[in-house]
Amino acid sequence: EIVLTQSPTTMAASPGEKVTLTCRASSSVSYMHWYQQRSGTSPKLWIYETSKLASGVPNRFSGSGSGTSYSLTINSMETEDAATYYCQQGSSYPPTFGSGTKLEIK
């Protein structure tokens, strides 16, 4: 099974700061998907097929990457972006998730 390693595990960013979260796969995958999970709620699809924003996701978010290295970037951090973000691959069975990056507001 493909192991996804997310970094950092936890980070804090100030409002307006640029943030980059990374996800590395143990083998090459075709696409990466990202989910946002706020405390006490279920995960929400956030970015799919590496770079496409899910419905309602602000355009300060973007996704990129290929092969074994992917990233989620927030152009300008806002308070509402504080959450845990998980990456997920669906190219190889079983689908697997990264362990998450907890993003906090400074």
Partner 1 sequence: EVKLVESGGGLVLPGASLKLSCIVSGFTFSDYWMRWVRQAPGKGLEFIGEIKPDGSKTNYAPSMKGRFTISRDNAKNTLYLQMSSVRSEDTATYYCARRHGGYPRYYFDYWGQGVMVTVSS
88 binds partner 1 (CB under 8 A): yes
Q: Does 64 bind partner 1 (CB under 8 A)?
A: no
29 binds partner 1 (CB under 8 A): yes
Q: Does 62 bind partner 1 (CB under 8 A)?
A: no
Which of 36, 48, 65, 74 forms a contact with partner 1 (CB under 8 A)? 48
Rounded to 5°, the CA angle 10-13-19 comes to 85
Does the footprint of partner 1 cover residue 8 (CB under 8 A)?
no
Alpha carbon of 59 to those of 1, 46, 54, 73, 74: distances in Å?
32, 11, 10, 10, 9
CA atoms within 13 A on the CB side of 92: 14
Q: Is 64 helix (H, G, I), strand (E, B) or coil?
A: strand
Residues that bind partner 1 (CB under 8 A): 1, 29-31, 33, 35, 41-45, 48-49, 54, 86, 88, 90-100
